[in-house]
Amino acid sequence: MNIERPTKNIIRKYLENWENLENYVLQESSLTKLFKETYPENNDMNDVLIKVCSLNDFYSTNIFSPFLVAKHIVALNIDARLQSGDLSLVNEIANVTVSTDKSINFYSFATKYCSHHQPVLYPIFDSFVEKLLMYFKRRDKFYKFYKYELRDYSKYKNILKKFQNYYSLNDFNLKELDKYLWQAGKEYFPKKY
């Protein structure tokens, strides 16, 4: 497999392509309205539950108990930390206690939840992004890191910044890089059902 080196023109091509993905564009604008206008805060269980359910449905994040996740988010009292861009918040939201002896890590969901509040501060992580970053790490050695570090959010964001700098993509914000990484990852590493 030989994936094109990320350049400004390649990123622009994927961003233009994004605008033609009607279902994703409308899905994202609906979530933006929900998170930024309708329910911007996270201290009311009803508001948080509808946001958790919507993200879970649109992104198929496999949250089997949205109620437990919403309750967890409300208990964390996250609004000030979200506004300040506190990266440690993602891993805290991700780690949900589901029973007295079991926790589940909903890391990808947590990145999406924070990103929909602050899209430029919180880049989204998912398996497509992970595969593409690992591919370019192996091929171009853009930065030395281990795969497990992608699941430590502050390290993940740092890795994205290194990717951005290495390929001279500083004209694009992290949300725009999200759109490129997700689309290219999905194109080159499709899920096999």
Of 124, 153, 157, 123, nearest in space to 143 by CA: 157
Provide the pLDDT for residue 55: 96
Write down the pLDDT at residue 193: 65
- Please give the angle made by the CA atoms of 193, 18 and 6, to the nearest 5 degrees: 85
Strand partners, 102: 99
- Cα distance between residue 67 and residue 63, in whole Å: 9
Q: Is 17 exposed, middle or buried (0-12, 13-18, 19+ CB in 10 A)?
A: middle
Q: What is the pLDDT of residue 44?
A: 98
pLDDT of residue 184: 97
Beta strands in 27-122 (DSSP E): 95-99, 102-105
Residue 131, pLDDT score? 96
| pLDDT for the residue 74 | 98
Q: Which tokens belong to 31? A: 């979530």
* 136 sits in which H/E element: helix 127-140
The pLDDT, as a whole number, for residue 100 is: 86
What pLDDT is recorded for position 54?
97
Q: How many CA atoms lie within 13 A of 129 on its CB side?
A: 23
Question: What pLDDT is stored for residue 41 in this prediction?
Answer: 98
| Token pair 């398996």 in the structure block, residue | 127
Which tokens in the block code for residue 104? 């589940």
What is the reported pTM? 0.95
pLDDT (0 to 100) of residue 191: 83
**Cα 101 from Cα 177, distance rounded (Å):** 38
Which amino acid would we find at residue 187?
Answer: E
**pLDDT < 70 stretches in the chain:** 193
**192 three-class SS:** coil
